[in-house]
Amino acid sequence: MRDARAHIRRPLGARLWLSGTWLSILALAAVFAPWVAPHDPLAQDLFLGRLPPFWMDGAEPGYWLGTDSLGRDVLSRMIHGARVALMVALVAGTLTCIIGASLGVLAGFYRGWSDRIISRLVDIWMAFPPVLFAILLIAVMGPGLVSIILAIVVIDWTRFARVIRAETLSQGAMDYVASAQIAGRTRFNTMIAEILPNILPTVVALLTLEMGIAVIVEAILSFVNLSISTDSPTWGGMIAEGRTSVHQAWWVLVFPLFTLFLTVLSFSQLGEGLKDRFDPVLR
Amino acid sequence: MIFLRALLTRLLTMAITLFGVAVVVFFLIRVVPGNPIAMMLPPGATEEDIARLQALYGFDKSLLQQFLIWSGDVLRGDFGTSISLRQPVSELVLGRLPATLELSLFALLIAIALGGLMAFLGTLYRHSAAEAAVDVTTGTALSVPDFLWALVLILLFGVLWPVFSISGRVSPSQAFEFTTDFYIIEAFLRLRFDVVAHLLSRSFMPALALAIPLAAIIAQLLKQSLKETMHLDYVTLARTKGYSETWVILREALPNAVLPTLTLIGVQFTFLIGGTVIIERLFSYEGLGNMAIDAVINRDLPLIQGIVILFAALFTVINLVVDMLYVVLNPKLRHA
């Protein structure tokens, strides 16, 4: 159902603008990484080790954000790290969303046995400490991009399933669903045509939040050295390296950490902003 | 009567959940390719040695047999022997649990104090710039997980302005002899407040990192409940009687607004405990989570199983207690 008021465009909130801008910059940097990055992210040069960022004494031109202990360019590594981070965010977030939301709708709309089994599984999953679960899964599957994505899907589907189940339950109890049934729609049609459009805003908001979570999980796994191979620079891996040499070269830790911080904050603010914007009650 | 029946149903679901966790973790870690006892073997071990060790740990039997034997042992409280540390898993795990519990409880207290303060300030200065500042702060604090807060704290208070320890539970130079594993509680009971202060200052950074997201959740929900309560007639009455705004918020509004927050704290507390795994690692804090990561890296199957089951048991017990507390505290449910 569309209300006339929905066509009156509200100005996009500042947080939507800011987070959207940052994520766009990041996406562009990730896509065009080989052309944007000033140096090869893997090229080592021990004579250029631990160069400070450009405004400090002893900086080398061209190495804007300095170099790490092996002489690798921090900025280039961050740009290439954005590829891994955004890839994981996009793929893992979308897959988790599809699987979790489907199970949630199934449990909330059909109830009965499917609900009982799915809810019991959610209970079991919630009893695992998620970080330990992730590390365990990576240990089982072996490190690598695919393992990380699978681990995130396996662990986080419950986030969607729980919320979407509750949302579907409350939507299913509403009069419009009953009238659709009386009007002769099948159960399945009702679900697709009536329920789905109404839970979509929640799904989109959760998806954006999940992308932020996926970035963090990847960083945590790189941090405990269980992410993808050491050949590809990742933010988590850079942070882990920076953490050990923070007293000699703080920039190796600070820049990736700040980037990760901004990215996670942006995904989360984008999710919140979209939720408010699409919320039919607030609109 | 209702209470008792609810309790029994909950205990039953709890047992099913724990059984489910046991099944998942048991079969999951046995998918790992490679021989779990490989790392125990001295160089030059014969086929016979390998077979003997496998038999000792029961790895020569079928998966189902292994599971039945293991579940039977677990029910009797025997979690097997750690492969990497060669000590009983139950001893190792129970020895580390107090460290994690103390850290989690400390974090919970910080979260309640910080969150409560923010909610109070937000309510006191509602509809002003100060409330907006509280909202922005809690929004940011909530958006960023404990792992990142921990790194930020390490950077700020461990490196740039090194006022707090960022490594370990006890300083190596601390000469105090502990007889239990509950260091803070023990030092407190033995009235060694200098030791308490030392321990608290060492776990302050990890505890604060764990507390920040929870504090934000508490602040948001409690502020919302408080603001709703501030409109009610009896609050207006208290105000017209001439009580100060602080008094009105704390004595009149708070008792009626606190219940949803309490329930939420219960649920969120399990998430906080889950967060200790990586936070302990970051701060080299000798707790359960740090031990868990080592166990995974060393492929120490019995130890991983023991730790995961213990975490799961902890989570389900906390959820049970929260549910029961909710029934006890909520007057509407008490006589249902």
CATH classification at residue A206 = 1.10.3720.10
Give pLDDT tens digits for A179-235.
Answer: 888 888 888 888 888 888 888 888 998 999 999 999 999 989 888 877 666 678 889
Instruction: Tell me the CA distances in angstroms from A187 to A99, A165, A179, B215, B217, one per residue in order.
Output: 20, 16, 12, 43, 38
Report how far residue A125's alpha carbon sits from residue A157's, in angstroms, rounded to the nearest whole number.
9
Q: Is the pLDDT of residue A4 over 50?
A: no
**Is B163 inside a domain boundary?**
yes
A13 compared with B334, residue with greater pLDDT:
A13
Mean predicted lDDT score pLDDT of chain A: 85
Complex ipTM tops 0.90: no
Range(s) of the domain holding residue A209: 15-37+64-278
- Among the listed ranges A1-15, A202-216, A257-271, B122-136, which one has the minimum average pLDDT value? A1-15
List helix spans (H) across chain A.
Answer: 14-31, 33-36, 74-105, 112-126, 130-141, 145-172, 175-182, 187-190, 196-223, 235-244, 250-278
**Is A178 inside a domain boundary?**
yes
With tokens 């040695």, the residue in question is B49
**Is B28 inside a domain boundary?**
no
Tell me the DSSP string of B8-52. Answer: HHHHHHHHHHHHHHHHHHHHHHTTS-S-TTGGGPPTT--HHHHHH
Instruction: Give residue B197's identity as a one-letter amino acid code.
Output: A
Give pLDDT tens digits for B233-284.
Answer: 888 888 888 888 888 888 888 888 888 898 889 889 999 999 999 999 999 9
**Is A244 inside a domain boundary?**
yes
- Among the listed ranges A101-110, A124-133, A186-195, B286-295, which one has the minimum average pLDDT value? A186-195
Q: What is the band of B188 on the pLDDT scale with cuts at 50, 70, 90?
A: confident
Q: What is the pLDDT of residue B336?
A: 46
Highest mean pLDDT among A117-126, A140-149, B34-43, B319-328: A117-126
**Is A46 inside a domain boundary?**
no
Highest mean pLDDT among A149-163, B40-54, B170-184: A149-163
Residues in B closer than 8 angstroms to A216, CB to CB, are 145, 147-148
Please name the residues in contact with A51: beta carbons below 8 A apart, sequence gap of 6 or more.
Answer: A58, A59, A60, A63, A66, A67, A71
Q: What is the pLDDT of residue B1?
A: 65
Q: Is B55 on the interface with A (CB under 8 A)?
A: no
Please name the residues in contact with B190: beta carbons below 8 A apart, sequence gap of 6 or more.
Answer: none
**Is B204 inside a domain boundary?**
yes
Q: Is the pLDDT of residue A117 over 60?
A: yes
Highest mean pLDDT among A45-49, A253-257, B322-326: A253-257
How many other C-beta atoms lie within 10 A of the C-beta of residue B140? 15
Report how far residue B146's alpha carbon sits from residue A121's, in angstroms, rounded to the nearest whole number.
26
Q: Is the pLDDT of residue B135 over 80?
A: yes
> For chain A, what percent of residues have pLDDT higher than 70?
92
Q: Is the pLDDT of residue B35 over 80?
A: no
Q: Is the pLDDT of residue A131 over 60?
A: yes
**Is B190 inside a domain boundary?**
yes
Q: What is the pLDDT of residue B41?
A: 66
Of A124, A129, A253, the CB nearest to B155: A253
- Among the listed ranges A63-72, B94-103, B151-160, B284-293, which one has the minimum average pLDDT value? A63-72
List helix spans (H) across chain B.
Answer: 2-29, 47-57, 63-75, 89-124, 129-143, 146-153, 183-189, 193-229, 233-240, 245-247, 254-282, 288-297, 301-329, 331-334
Q: What is the pLDDT of residue B229?
A: 87
> For chain A, what percent of residues have pLDDT higher than 90?
37
Q: Is the pLDDT of residue A57 over 70?
A: yes
Collapsing DSSP to helix, strand or coil, A32 comes out as: coil
Of A136, A261, A265, the CB nearest to B29: A136
**Is A160 inside a domain boundary?**
yes
Instruction: Tell me the CA distances in angstroms from B285 to A210, A236, B198, B236, one per residue in order.
Output: 29, 20, 14, 49
Q: Is the pLDDT of residue B151 over 80?
A: yes
Structural domain tally of chain B?
1
Q: What is the pLDDT of residue A230?
A: 63
Report how far residue B172's alpha carbon sits from residue A275's, in angstroms, rounded to the nearest whole number.
50
Q: What is the pLDDT of residue A1?
A: 42
What does DSSP assign to residue A73? B
Q: Is B157 on the interface with A (CB under 8 A)?
A: no
Cα of B110 vs its chain's centroid, Å: 13
Of A121, A126, A265, the CB nearest to B140: A265
**Is B38 inside a domain boundary?**
no
Q: What is the band of B302 on the pLDDT scale with cuts at 50, 70, 90?
A: confident
- Among the listed ranges A67-71, B47-51, B195-199, B329-333, which one has the minimum average pLDDT value? B329-333
Q: What is the pLDDT of residue A181?
A: 81
Which residues 21-40 of B have a C-beta within 8 angstroms of A?
21, 24-25, 28-29, 31-32
**Is A187 inside a domain boundary?**
yes
Residue from B262, B300, B322, B333 nearest B82 by CA: B300
Q: What is the pLDDT of residue A6?
A: 45
Q: What is the pLDDT of residue A254?
A: 92
**Is A56 inside a domain boundary?**
no
Q: Is the pLDDT of residue A7 over 50?
A: no
- CATH code of residue B239: 1.10.3720
Instruction: Name the interface residues of A facing B (CB cutoff 8 Å).
Output: 120-121, 123-124, 126-132, 135-137, 139-140, 212-213, 216, 219-220, 223-224, 239, 243, 246-247, 250, 253-254, 257, 260-261, 264-265, 268-269, 272
**Is A269 inside a domain boundary?**
yes
**Is B276 inside a domain boundary?**
yes
**Is B88 inside a domain boundary?**
no
Q: What is the pLDDT of residue A281?
A: 56
Q: How big is the A-B interface in CB pairs under 8 Å?
A: 122
Mean predicted lDDT score pLDDT of chain B: 86
Interface probe, candidates B148, B301, B309, chain A, greatest A C-beta count within 10 A: B148
Q: What is the pLDDT of residue A227?
A: 65
- Among the listed ranges A1-5, A169-173, B21-25, B57-61, which one has the minimum average pLDDT value? A1-5
Q: What is the pLDDT of residue A228?
A: 66
CB-based contact A138:B318 (threshold 8 Å) = no
* Model confidence, pTM: 0.89
Range(s) of the domain holding residue B209: 98-301
Contacts 24+ apart (CB under 8 A), A137-145: A137/B28, A138/A221, A138/A226, A138/A227, A139/A226, A139/B29, A139/B32, A139/B296, A139/B297, A139/B299, A140/B28, A140/B29, A140/B31, A140/B32, A143/A226, A143/A227, A143/A228, A143/A229, A144/A228, A144/A229, A145/A84, A145/A87, A145/A88, A145/A228
CB-based contact B142:B216 (threshold 8 Å) = yes
Q: What is the pLDDT of residue B38?
A: 64
**Is A170 inside a domain boundary?**
yes
Residue from A259, A283, A261 nearest A273 by CA: A283
Structural domain tally of chain A?
1
B51 compared with B16, residue with greater pLDDT:
B16
Cα of B219 vs its chain's centroid, Å: 19
Highest mean pLDDT among A222-236, A256-270, B165-179: A256-270
Of B144, B154, B312, the CB nearest to A261: B144
Highest mean pLDDT among A24-38, A86-100, A143-157: A86-100
